[in-house]
Amino acid sequence: MSASKPACDTLLQSPGLEVNEDGPVFAEPWEAKAFAMAVSCHERGLFDWPTWANALGATIKAEPDLPYYKQWLATLERLLADIGTVPETERLDRVNAWDRAAKATPHGEPIVLGRDREPHHHD
């Protein structure tokens, strides 16, 4: 997932974002994906950077104990819900589907949506 240089440069100014000489620092692959999704949404005109920065700052203030990229993801979810991209009921359905699939996934296997409806096989 690549981001345009100007969009990425602006995003690097987001409050609380850890960066080094190579760019943003991600501890897990999902964090990089959340970052890339925010860049992509901006590039598609779903929100501007001041809107993003204000929303992220509000999330950080409201939920200071959440890990940074969980704050990031919560902000992205809220912004997309606020502009009607994903209705709240659909977002919650997706969150619940991922939670069920994660709980039904054996350790070390990729999470697959719908896995909670598959019969469990024990080898």
Q: What is the pLDDT of residue 2?
A: 44
Query: In what helix (H) or strand (E) does residue 101 lie, and over which residues does it extend?
Result: helix 88-104
E runs forming strands in 14-118:
19-20, 23-24
Q: Of 121, 111, 41, give the one whose Cα is nearest residue 82.
A: 41
* pLDDT tens-digit map of 16-57: 667 667 777 788 888 888 888 998 999 999 999 899 999 999
pLDDT tier, 5 (very low <50, low <70, confident <90, very high otherwise): low
3-state secondary structure of 9: helix
Query: In what helix (H) or strand (E) does residue 23 lie, and over which residues does it extend?
Result: strand 23-24
Q: Is residue 109 part of a domain?
A: no
Q: Is residue 37 part of a domain?
A: yes
More confident residue, 77 or 13: 77
Which range marks the domain in which residue 17 is found?
5-86
Q: Is residue 114 part of a domain?
A: no
Q: Is residue 92 part of a domain?
A: no
Q: Measure the CA–CA gap between 43 and 94, rounded to whole angstroms.
A: 24
Q: Is residue 39 part of a domain?
A: yes
Q: What is the pLDDT of residue 9?
A: 61
Q: Is residue 93 part of a domain?
A: no
Q: Is residue 102 part of a domain?
A: no
Q: Is residue 99 part of a domain?
A: no
Q: Measure the CA–CA gap between 57 and 60, rounded to whole angstroms.
A: 5
Q: How many domains does the chain have?
A: 1
Q: Does the pLDDT value for residue 82 go beyond 80?
A: yes
